[in-house]
């Protein structure tokens, strides 16, 4: 991909995807995505899905390729949850919207079950701070 940087050596999520750091173990991956546990789980199951390419945040996405990426991340995370006993009816899925991002590497949260989330976590993953994949796709399309 020319001179585009695909990996930042001091990024904790790049390091997890490259398996260079022990803070989280990759549970599932394909050519372009990696899935691992959130270190501060908001419920019984809490996965993060990231692109292996270093993209900063949902706010920086701006192309058709990025729309496809978001859709792939959603499918990958939802399929993984369903294969591991979860179901979509009690799932929370989405992205923290800047400035509420804790790690500057694009990551999708999949949380289950929502019904067992504490008040504090409900606040951390509430609207305005935490947006749906559709919100992100609409924001990308608005730039195209």
Binding site for Zn ion (CB under 5 A): 8, 11, 13-14, 54, 96, 105
Question: Quick check: is 54 catalytic?
Answer: no
**13 or 76: whose CB is closer to Zn ion?**
13
What SS3 state is found at 50? strand
CB of 93 to Zn ion, least distance (A): 12
Beta partners for 110? 47, 93
**15 or 144: whose CB is closer to Zn ion?**
15
Q: How far is the C-alpha of 144 from the C-alpha of 42, rounded, in Å? A: 34
CB of 51 to Zn ion, least distance (A): 9
Do 58 and 139 contact (CB within 8 A), yes or no? Answer: yes
If one counts every other C-beta atom within 10 angstroms of the C-beta of residue 85, the result is 9
Do 80 and 5 contact (CB within 8 A), yes or no? Answer: no
**33 or 144: whose CB is closer to Zn ion?**
33
CB of 95 to Zn ion, least distance (A): 7
Catalytic residue set: 107
């Amino acid at each position: 991909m020319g001179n585009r940087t695909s990996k930042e050596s001091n990024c904790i999520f790049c390091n997890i995807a490259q398996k260079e750091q022990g803070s989280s173990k990759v549970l599932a991956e394909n050519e372009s995505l990696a899935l691992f546990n959130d270190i501060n789980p908001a419920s019984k199951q809490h996965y993060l899905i990231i692109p292996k390419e270093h993209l900063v945040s949902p706010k920086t996405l701006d192309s058709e390729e990025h729309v496809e990426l978001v859709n792939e991340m959603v499918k990958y995370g939802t399929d993984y949850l369903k294969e591991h006993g979860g179901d979509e009816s009690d799932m929370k899925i989405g992205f923290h919207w800047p400035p509420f991002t804790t790690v500057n590497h694009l990551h999708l949260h999949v949380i289950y079950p929502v019904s067992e989330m504490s008040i504090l976590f409900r606040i951390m993953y509430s609207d305005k701070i935490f947006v749906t994949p559709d919100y992100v796709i609409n924001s990308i399309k608005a730039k195209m």
